[in-house]
């Protein structure tokens, strides 16, 4: 990942490599199941990422038109996974490898779906090139079959 800074007539333009990481469809989502705020939304997953970078965007493609806040818990190593649709409950020792949480709480509602976007400017270091993740819902989702959301991160 190279970083270049160009000075153009007193303006600064920062350019770097751009990388997209995502599991695509969120794994383990139970369709037709009622979720509650604070529940694990699907199962844990691993994202292959550059060993260091800044997450500029987190994007949730909400095909079920729910528009409910999602938190993405990020860890530098494997952690105790919470089962889908159970209250998210990392252990005390898991917290030591947690590098932070990104909340997707801005949604753009279209006729039959929504897109949720966060722009966290979240810098990280992942020595193995992996981020270990689990999504937590902060609403009462009930996902229809064929409408499992997709998630991806844009990293610079």
Q: What is the mean pLDDT of residues 96-109?
A: 97
Among candidate residues 100, 66, 97, the one with its CA nearest the CA of residue 79:
97
* Whole-number average pLDDT of the chain: 92
pLDDT score of 111: 92
Regarding pTM above 0.85, the answer is yes
Residue 94: per-residue pLDDT? 95
3-state secondary structure 122-153: EEEECCCCEEEEEEEECCCCCCCCCCCCEEEE
CA–CA separation, 52 vs 43, rounded Å? 24
Element holding 92 (H helix, E strand): helix 92-95
Q: Is the pLDDT of residue 118 over 70?
A: yes
Distance in angstroms (rounded) separating the CA atoms of residues 7 and 125 = 28
What number is the average pLDDT over the span 103-117?
96
Q: CB–CB of 150/64 below 8 Å?
A: no
According to DSSP H, which parts of 9-130 are helical?
92-95
Instruction: Taking residues 97-121, report their average pLDDT.
Output: 96
Residue 11 or 101, more confident: 101
Domains of the chain: 19-155 (2.60.120)
What would you measure as the largest C-alpha separation in the chain, in angstroms?
A: 57
Q: What is the mean pLDDT of residues 28-47?
A: 96
What is the per-residue pLDDT for 127?
94
Percent of residues, the chain, with pLDDT higher than 70: 90
Q: What is the pLDDT of residues 9-23, one digit of tens each?
A: 556 555 678 899 987
């Amino acid at each position: 990942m190279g970083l270049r800074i160009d000075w153009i007539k007193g303006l600064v333009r920062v350019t770097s490599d751009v990388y997209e990481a995502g599991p695509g469809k969120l794994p383990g989502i139970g369709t037709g199941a009622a979720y509650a705020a604070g529940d694990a939304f699907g199962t844990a997953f691993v994202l292959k990422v550059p060993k260091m970078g800044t997450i500029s965007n987190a994007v949730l493609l909400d095909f079920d038109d729910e528009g409910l806040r999602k938190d993405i818990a990020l860890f530098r190593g494997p952690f105790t996974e919470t089962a889908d649709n159970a209250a998210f409950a990392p252990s005390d020792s898991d917290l030591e490898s947690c590098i932070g949480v990104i909340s997707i709480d801005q949604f753009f509602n279209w006729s039959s779906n929504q897109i949720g976007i966060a722009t966290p400017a979240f810098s990280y270091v992942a020595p193995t090139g992996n981020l270990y993740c689990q999504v937590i819902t902060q609403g009462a989702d009930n996902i229809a079959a064929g409408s499992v959301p997709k998630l991806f991160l844009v990293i610079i």
